[in-house]
């Protein structure tokens, strides 16, 4: 589903502050695979996600999603396949628009936004049912502005929004980093449920070792822009927290 071929990215090229964020990195993620990406700060995890989402341009290499060469496509064109959840809950939703309006835009992620009113009664019922499945206490509040909700509520809604339209790839960049432990747990459980239900090909960047063991079926460890560990299958199931911690010590 996602194929990265020798991707390379440097920041501040030619200056003293040059960072080689991704070094000749290649990987193949199968359809429906749930990959957890670990690594120290500055190891290139977020850069990797941004490269797939298309918010940064590569210096070399190619990116293929669902068989399409997307290397040169801007982020807004890659939304045809890719949905994103940001680290900061504020970034995934529009605060001044209502919950309903946010969902409307999410429902059109892969389509053109036409000059017709799409927030119909029918659509409202559909969103209402969708939102009610998670029990956030937002029943009947679809006209409330998104900005009035808590970070946890916004992150949970962002997850629901991600599957309002056809989604092949879900990118999660430390989705629970800004949330309290209990909310973080709720949001990760919801994410996992959605990923299983829609069989999404997923990349999750996280610093939570517990999450890395609990969720997903493949673990990557990034060191200085390269994949230094790639564990899946039986080996992945036998991983212990201590194994992961040891990776960080090298």
Partner 1 sequence: MSFYQTALLLGFAYGALALGIFISMRIFNIPDITTDGSFTLGGAVTAVLTLHWMPPLLALPVAFACGTLAGMVTGWIHTRLKVNALLAGILVTSALYSINLAIMGRSNLPLFGSPTLFTTLSLPVGSNTNQLIVLTSIILVITFLIGYLLRTDFGLAMRATGNNEHMIRSLGVNTDRMKIIGLGLANGLTALSGYLITNVQGFADINMGIGIVLLGLGAVMIGEIFSRAMLLRSITGQMISVVIGSIVFRLLLGAALTVGIDPLYLKLVVAVFVLITVSLPNLRRTA
Beta bridge partners of 206: none
Contact call for residue 104 and partner 1 (CB under 8 A): yes
Candidate ranges 16-24, 42-50, 113-121, 204-212; the one touching partner 1 (CB under 8 A): 113-121
- 66 contributes a contact to partner 1 by CB under 8 A: no
Q: Which one among 40, 110, 223, 232 touches partner 1, defined by CB under 8 A?
A: 110
Find the shortest distance in angstroms from Cβ 139 to partner 1.
20
Q: Which of residues 198-227 bind partner 1 (CB under 8 A)?
A: none
Q: Which of 16, 17, 117, 121 binds partner 1 (CB under 8 A)?
A: 117
Closest distance between partner 1 and the C-beta of residue 69, in Å? 18
Interacting residues with partner 1 between 131 and 160 (CB under 8 A): 145
Least spacing, CB of residue 233 vs partner 1, in Å: 32
| 94 touches partner 1 (CB under 8 A) | yes
Please, which residue, 83 or 209, has the CB nearer to partner 1? Answer: 83
Sign of the Cα torsion 19, 209, 5, 56 reads negative
Residue with Cβ nearer partner 1 (127 or 244): 127
Region of 3-11, 37-45, 93-101, 212-220 interacting with partner 1 (CB under 8 A): 93-101
3-state secondary structure the chain: CEEEEEEEEEECCCCCCCEEEEEEEEEEECCCCEEEEEECCCCCHHHHHHHHHCCCCCCEEEEEECCEECCCCCHHHHCCCEEEECCCHHHHCCCCCEHHHHHHHHHCCCCCCCCCCCCCHHHHHHHHHHHHCCCCCCCCCCCCEHHHCCHHHHHHHHHHHHCCCCCCEEEEECCCCCCCHHHHHHHHHHHHHHHHHHCCEEEEECCCHHHHHHCCCEEEEEECCEEEEEEEHHHHHCCCHHHHHHHHHC
Least distance (Å) between residue 143 CB and partner 1: 9
Other beta carbons within 10 angstroms of residue 138's beta carbon come to: 17
Size of the site for partner 1 (CB under 8 A): 36
Where on the chain is the footprint of partner 1 (CB under 8 A)? 53, 55, 74-77, 79-80, 82-84, 86, 90-97, 101, 104-106, 108-111, 113-119, 145
């Amino acid at each position: 589903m996602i194929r990265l071929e020798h991707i390379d990215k440097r920041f501040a090229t030619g200056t003293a502050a040059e960072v080689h964020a991704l070094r000749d990195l290649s990987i193949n993620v199968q359809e429906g695979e749930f990959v957890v990406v670990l690594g120290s700060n500055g190891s290139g995890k977020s850069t990797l996600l941004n490269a797939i989402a298309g918010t940064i341009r590569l210096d070399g290499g190619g990116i293929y999603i669902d068989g399409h060469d997307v290397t040169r496509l801007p982020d807004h064109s890659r939304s045809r396949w890719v949905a994103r959840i940001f680290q900061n809950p504020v970034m995934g939703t529009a605060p001044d628009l209502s919950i309903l309006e946010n969902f409307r835009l999410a429902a059109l992620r892969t389509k053109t936004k036409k000059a017709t009113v799409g927030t119909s009664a029918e659509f409202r019922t559909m969103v209402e049912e969708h939102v009610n499945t998670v029990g956030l206490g937002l029943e009947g509040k679809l006209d409330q502005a998104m900005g009035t909700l808590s970070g946890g509520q916004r992150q949970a809604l962002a997850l629901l929004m991600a599957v309002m339209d056809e989604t092949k790839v879900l990118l999660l960049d430390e989705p629970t980093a800004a949330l309290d432990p209990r909310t973080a747990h709720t949001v990760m459980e919801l994410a996992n449920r959605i990923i299983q239900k829609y069989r999404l090909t997923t990349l999750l960047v996280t610093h939570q070792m517990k999450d890395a063991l609990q969720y997903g079926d493949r673990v990557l460890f990034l060191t200085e822009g390269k994949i230094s560990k790639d564990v899946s299958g039986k080996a992945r199931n036998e991983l212990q927290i201590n194994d992961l911690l040891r990776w960080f010590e090298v």
